[in-house]
């Protein structure tokens, strides 16, 4: 005879079968509710309900279920819960008017409405049947609300089934990240099948609608439902540009193997036709391999145009690494016609190099082969870079073994080759020994070294006869430097803040040797700045070793905030005093620098009040009382997420630029961003970018226009970009966030 308990007080029944309902529905759930902002002003009141706070968030598969109801009826393993039924298990909660459990079949049946909640998920359904033995589920009309990648999503289905193979099927299903009843966009499908074991989902008759307008339809569509890769179309992009016209890119991803994939992207351009872009990626135990190619087919009357780049980064062992980077382009106008920025359009040489490197704590060994493709064949041979065929370098230092003495050597052997030029091999050895002494209030580092360089040259033209011949010679130059400094500090108040005063002195002695007969393979004169005060050579490369008998003096002061430990201000000033004239020049000339001192260089960086910061640098000529070089950057970072940067750069007699960039929230929905880079000396706008963004609760739209000077320095090209972001899906359109990241200092795209 059945037993009853009609007491209106709750009755607790403990069963030792686990009632698992959510694993039955959708595969990507259960992010913490704190990951979504229920108080988001864009989505007011759009938040997930949480289960009873007393429920444990730790899943215990052996824990019993707790069930309460107004009335409980039990007979022969058959239990019926009636009225205000609540089932709690494993941090989950089920609420219904009634529930029926059959121990013989393992099924729990709920007639009428059912609500299932857990942290980050809610399911409402009716007429559901759950089998506790094989974890299957059948339900009628259902709706769900969940978090997915930090974004709330919701949808509906007319019927839902989960079978014993963990496959989920939904009929007449929808998905959207918009609030229920305010679906600015959604995806509908006549049937969705989710295979959790395979990590693959399949949808039939899928339609993507935005503002009730269908923008995408596919009769069958498959997609990944976990972190596994899946072949299929990626989000398209489109733009408008002066050099290409209106263009659409439709990428298709091909998952060939676990360590091999490819992306094929047709690029439709109204001015040029269809270009095929391909990216092939391969991963093996050595490292990554990537081949990128762009191909534009032309008729018999025109040549096809293409660009190819191959890249590899690898590791043979803990210490051995490899690198390959090689590019090819079909013609000199390719980047001008198909590029989207001045940096790309002005490329003159393509690098082709392969490297093998060994590194440990005391050694850095490198073998490199480096060639170039000159994009413009009209560039004269003497204006093209030298090829290194090959370059072998070895930087090594002896283990210190507890001693302060540093002994090391930098060495390089390279063969330089170039058409119609002096070629040959160069061996450069630079052994050095130093004894750094570091104390709390001072440091002193004496260094002695040797520059030894040997040349074995071909195609050298004799000055007397004008006949080309070979030449072999060497150059040996010792050097000595002494670097020292003091540290003074004084407290600022009682918070631990301090101000420092750090004078520094650097003496350098390198004897003079005539180097006018040595060709310039890879050397150049370095820009003069504050760090140049303490370098042992004012030239890069080994073809020139500057003569020096000089002393550099500098002073730095810093303000350090005690509570935060942050450097609030740093200011430095320095100058070189020369005891001898400088006679070594980059080019083979008879000129001599006779000034007794260098320009004065200074740097200031400071964090100002109210989220302002500034960085400045100046190079001042005391002989002509002119500023040779200056730069200033002022930045503002308010708490509302905005950014503002203003920069000014000037190089006496060459160029003067101003640069403004900003990203600013006008309100919760509208944001503006852009950059203006202007040349004052030529009265020309180099680049102007303007972007606008509108964000709603579940989608965002971005538009940008970019106008930049073309490679000939006379004309401008203009590009237009559009991007639609449906939160919870991949963005559709061009990557405007990447455009702003490259132009607005400090900006990070939140959608990529």
pLDDT in tens, 291-325: 999 999 886 667 889 999 999 999 999 999 999 99
pLDDT at position 20 is: 27
What are the residues facing 159 on neighbouring strands?
A: 171
pLDDT at 55 over 80: no
Confidence tier at 230 by pLDDT (50, 70, 90): confident
pLDDT for the residue numbered 303: 82
Q: Are residues 166 and 248 in the same domain?
A: no
Q: What is the DSSP string of 691-750?
A: EEEEE-SSEEEEEEEEEEE-TTSS-EEEEEEEEEEETTS--EE--HHHHHHHHSTT---T
Q: In 3D, which of 686, 659, 679 has the Cα closest to residue 341?
A: 686
Q: For the chain, what percent of residues have pLDDT higher than 70? A: 87
pLDDT digits (tens, 9 = 90+) for 523-566: 999 999 999 999 999 999 999 999 999 999 999 999 999 998 89
Q: Are residues 129 and 211 in the same domain?
A: yes
Assign 477 to helix, strand or coil: strand
Average pLDDT over residues 198-222: 85
Most confident of the following: 140-149, 269-278, 345-354: 269-278
Residue 66, pLDDT above cutoff 90: no
Strand partners, 582: 593
Res 34 pLDDT > 50: no
Which pair of tokens denotes residue 362? 């005391």
pLDDT at 601 over 90: yes
Are residue 374 and residue 406 in the same domain, yes or no? yes
431 part of a folded domain:
no
pLDDT of residue 92: 73
Distance of CA 241 to the CA centre of its chain: 25
Residue 48 and residue 192 in one domain? yes
Contact, 118 vs 14, CB < 8 A?
no
In this model, does residue 636 exceed pLDDT 70?
yes
Tell which of 376, 393, 417 closes a domain.
417
How confident is the model at residue 321, as a pLDDT?
A: 97
What is the C-alpha radius of gyration for the chain, rounded to an integer number of angstroms? 35
CA dist., res. 752 & res. 747, Å (int): 12
Q: What is the mean pLDDT of residues 377-397?
A: 92
- pLDDT at residue 618 in the model: 96
| Same domain, yes or no: 324 and 190 | no
Last residue of a domain, one of 417, 440, 459: 417
Of 144-158, 291-305, 309-323, 366-380, the poorest mean pLDDT is in 144-158
Residue 130, preceding peptide bond in cis (omega within 30° of 0): no
Residues 161 and 273 placed together within one structural domain of the fold: no
> Per the domain annotation, does 73 fall within a domain?
yes
223 and 312 share one domain: no
* Per-residue model confidence (pLDDT) at position 6: 37
pLDDT at residue 463 is higher than 60: no
| Count of residues making up the chain | 752
Q: What is the pLDDT of residue 582?
A: 94
Clarify whether residues 269 and 223 are in a common domain. Answer: no
Are the CB atoms for 192 and 173 separated by under 8 Å? yes
Which residue among 212, 227, 242 closes a domain? 227
- The arithmetic mean of pLDDT across residues 37-63, rounded, is 57
Considering the domain boundaries, does residue 676 fall inside one? yes
What does the pLDDT read at residue 694?
Answer: 96
Of 21-35, 160-174, 579-593, 627-641, the least confident: 21-35
Q: Is the pLDDT assigned to residue 5 strictly greater than 90?
A: no
pTM of the shown model: 0.80
Query: What are residue 408's DSSP bridge partners?
Result: 397, 432
Mean pLDDT of 67-77: 84
pLDDT for res 23: 29
Residue 50 banded pLDDT, cuts 50, 70, 90:
low
pLDDT digits (tens, 9 = 90+) for 496-520: 899 999 999 999 999 999 998 899 9
CB 421 within 8 A of CB 382: yes
What pLDDT, on the 0 to 100 scale, is given for residue 22? 28
365 lies in which domain range? 300-417
Q: How far apart are CA 491 and CA 302, in angstroms?
A: 75
Kindly state the DSSP code that residue 179 receives in the 8-state scheme: P
Query: Predicted confidence band at 17 (pLDDT cuts at 50, 70, 90)?
Result: very low
Q: Report pLDDT for 28.
A: 33
* Higher per-residue confidence, 193 vs 487: 487
Does 604 reside within a domain?
no
Residue 24 confidence class, pLDDT cut points 50, 70, 90: very low
Same domain, 151 and 181: yes
Output the pLDDT for position 638. 93
Q: How far apart are CA 720 and CA 751, in angstroms?
A: 19
Phi/psi of residue 179, each to 5°? Answer: -65, 150
What gap in Å lies between CA 635 and CA 677, rounded to an integer? 16
Same domain? For 205 and 164 the reply is: yes
736: exposed, middle or buried (Cβ count in 10 Å: 0-12, 13-18, 19+): buried
Residue 699 has pLDDT above 60, yes or no: yes
Overall domain count for the chain: 4
Question: What's the whole-number mean pLDDT along residues 645-662?
Answer: 94
pLDDT band at 589 (very low <50, low <70, confident <90, very high): low
User: Per-residue confidence at 236, pLDDT binned at 50, 70, 90?
Assistant: confident
Q: In Å, how far are 439, 448, 479 from 443, measured between CA atoms?
A: 6, 17, 20
Choice among 25-34, 175-184, 352-361 with the minimum mean pLDDT: 25-34
pLDDT at 225: 64
**Local confidence band at 202 (pLDDT 50, 70, 90 cut-offs):** confident
- Higher pLDDT pick, 469 / 574: 574
Query: Residue 47 is part of a domain; what is its CATH number?
Result: 2.60.450.10
Q: What is the pLDDT of residue 101?
A: 80
In order, the DSSP letters of 218-269 are EEEEEEESSSS---EE---EEEEETTTEEEEE--EEEEEETTEEEEEEEEEE
Q: What is the pLDDT of residue 300?
A: 62
Lowest-confidence region among 24-28, 471-475, 676-680, 684-688: 24-28
Checking if the pLDDT of 72 tops 90, the result is: no
**How far, in Å, CA of 320 to CA of 359, rounded?**
7
Instruction: Determine the Cα angle at 256 with ends 253 and 260, to 5°.
Output: 95
**Residue environment code for 84-104, b if the CB has 16+ CB neighbours within 10 A, otherwise e:** ebbbbbbbbbbbbbbbbbbee
Indicate whether 521 belongs to any domain. Answer: no
At 522, is the pLDDT very low, low, confident or very high (cuts 50, 70, 90)?
Answer: very high
Domain membership flag for residue 381: yes
Q: Kindly report the average pLDDT of the chain as a whole number.
A: 86
Q: Which residue has the higher pLDDT, 30 or 732?
A: 732
pLDDT-based confidence at 155, cuts 50/70/90? Answer: confident
For residues 457-476, one letter each, b for 16 or more C-beta atoms within 10 angstroms of the residue's C-beta and e for the rest, the string is beebeeeeeeeeeebeeebe
Angle made by CA atoms 105, 106, 110, in degrees to the nearest 5:
105
203 and 259, same domain (yes or no): no
Q: Which residues pair with 474 in a beta bridge?
A: 454
**Phi, psi torsion values for 729, nearest 5 degrees:** -125, 170
Q: Does residue 631 sit in the same domain as residue 708?
A: yes
Over residues 721-733, the mean pLDDT reads: 85
Residue 621 belongs to some domain of the structure: yes
Residue of higher predicted confidence among 578 and 97: 578
Predicted confidence band at 52 (pLDDT cuts at 50, 70, 90)? Answer: low
Non-local (6+) Cβ contacts of 327 within 8 A are 307, 308, 309, 310, 350, 351, 352, 373
In a domain, 432, yes or no: no
């Amino acid at each position: 005879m059945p037993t009853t308990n009609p007491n209106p007080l709750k009755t607790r029944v403990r069963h030792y079968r686990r009632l698992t309902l959510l694993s039955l529905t959708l595969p990507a759930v259960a992010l913490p509710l704190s990951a979504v902002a229920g108080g988001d002003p864009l989505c007011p009141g759009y938040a997930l309900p949480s289960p009873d706070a007393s429920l444990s968030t730790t899943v215990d598969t052996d824990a019993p279920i707790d069930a309460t109801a107004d009335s409980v009826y039990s007979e022969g393993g058959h239990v019926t819960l009636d009225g205000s039924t609540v089932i709690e298990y494993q941090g989950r909660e089920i609420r219904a008017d009634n529930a029926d459990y059959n121990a013989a079949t393992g099924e729990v049946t709920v007639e009428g409405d059912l609500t299932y909640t857990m942290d980050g998920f809610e399911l409402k359904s009716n007429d559901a049947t759950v089998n506790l033995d094989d974890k299957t589920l059948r339900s009628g009309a259902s709706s769900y609300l969940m978090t997915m990648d930090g974004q709330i999503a919701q949808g509906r289905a007319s019927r839902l089934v989960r079978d014993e193979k963990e496959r989920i099927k939904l009929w007449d299903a929808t998905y959207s990240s918009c609030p229920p009843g305010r679906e600015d966009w959604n995806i509908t499908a006549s049937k969705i099948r989710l295979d959790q074991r395979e990590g693959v989902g399949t949808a039939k008759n899928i339609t993507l609608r935005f503002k009730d307008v269908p923008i995408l339809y596919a009769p069958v569509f498959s997609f990944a439902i976990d972190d596994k890769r899946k072949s299929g179309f990626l989000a398209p992009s489109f733009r408008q540009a002066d050099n290409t016209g209106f263009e659409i890119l439709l990428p298709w991803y091909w998952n060939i193997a676990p360590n091999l994939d490819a992306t094929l992207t047709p690029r439709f351009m109204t001015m040029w036709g269809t270009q095929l872009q391909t990216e092939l990626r391969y991963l093996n135990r050595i490292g990554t391999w990537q081949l990128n190619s762009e191909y534009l087919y032309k008729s018999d009357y025109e040549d096809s145009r293409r660009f190819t780049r191959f890249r590899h980064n690898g590791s043979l062992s803990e210490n051995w690494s490899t690198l390959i980077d090689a590019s090819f382009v079909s013609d000199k106008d390719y980047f001008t016609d198909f590029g989207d920025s001045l940096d790309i359009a002005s490329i003159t040489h393509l690098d082709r190099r392969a490297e093998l490197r060994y590194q440990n704590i005391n050694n850095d060994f490198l073998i490199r082969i480096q060639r170039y493709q000159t994009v413009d064949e009209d560039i004269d041979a003497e204006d093209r870079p030298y090829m290194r065929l090959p370059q072998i370098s070895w930087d090594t230092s002896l283990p210190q073994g507890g001693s302060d003495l540093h002994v090391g050597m930098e060495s390089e052997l390279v063969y330089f080759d170039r058409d119609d030029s002096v070629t040959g091999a160069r061996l450069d050895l630079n052994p050095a020994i130093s004894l750094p002494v570091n104390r709390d209030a001072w440091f002193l580092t004496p260094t002695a070294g040797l520059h030894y360089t040997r040349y074995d040259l071909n195609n050298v033209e004799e000055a007397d006869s004008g006949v080309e011949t070979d030449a072999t010679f060497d150059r040996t130059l010792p050097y000595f430097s002494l670097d020292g400094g003091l540290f003074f500090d004084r407290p600022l108040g009682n918070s631990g803040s301090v101000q420092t005063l750090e004078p520094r002195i650097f003496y350098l002695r390198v004897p003079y040797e005539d180097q006018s007969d040595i060709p310039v393979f890879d050397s150049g004169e370095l820009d003069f700045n504050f760090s140049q005060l303490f370098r042992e050579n004012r030239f890069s490369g080994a073809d020139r070793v500057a003569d020096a008998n000089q002393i550099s003096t500098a002073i730095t002061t810093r303000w350090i905030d005690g509570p935060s430990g942050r450097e609030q201000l740093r200011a430095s000033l320095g100058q070189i005093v020369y005891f001898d004239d400088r006679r070594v020049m980059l080019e083979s000339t008879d000129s001599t620098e006779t000034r007794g001192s260098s320009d004065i260089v200074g740097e200031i960086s400071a964090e100002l009040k109210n989220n302002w910061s500034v960085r400045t640098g100046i190079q001042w000529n005391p002989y002509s009382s002119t500023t040779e070089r200056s730069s200033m950057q002022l930045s503002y970072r308010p708490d509302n997420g905005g950014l503002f940067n203003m920069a000014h750069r000037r190089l006496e007699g060459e160029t003067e630029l101003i640069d403004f960039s900003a990203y600013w929230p006008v309100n919760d929905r509208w944001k503006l961003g852009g950059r203006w880079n202007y040349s004052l000396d030529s009265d020309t706008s180099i680049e102007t970018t303007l972007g606008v963004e509108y964000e709603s609760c579940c989608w965002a739209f971005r538009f940008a226009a970019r106008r930049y000077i073309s490679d000939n320095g006379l004309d401008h090209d203009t590009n237009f970009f559009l991007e639609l972001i449906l939160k919870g899906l991949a963005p559709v359109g061009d990557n405007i966030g990447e455009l702003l990241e490259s132009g607005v200092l400090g900006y990070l795209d939140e959608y990529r």
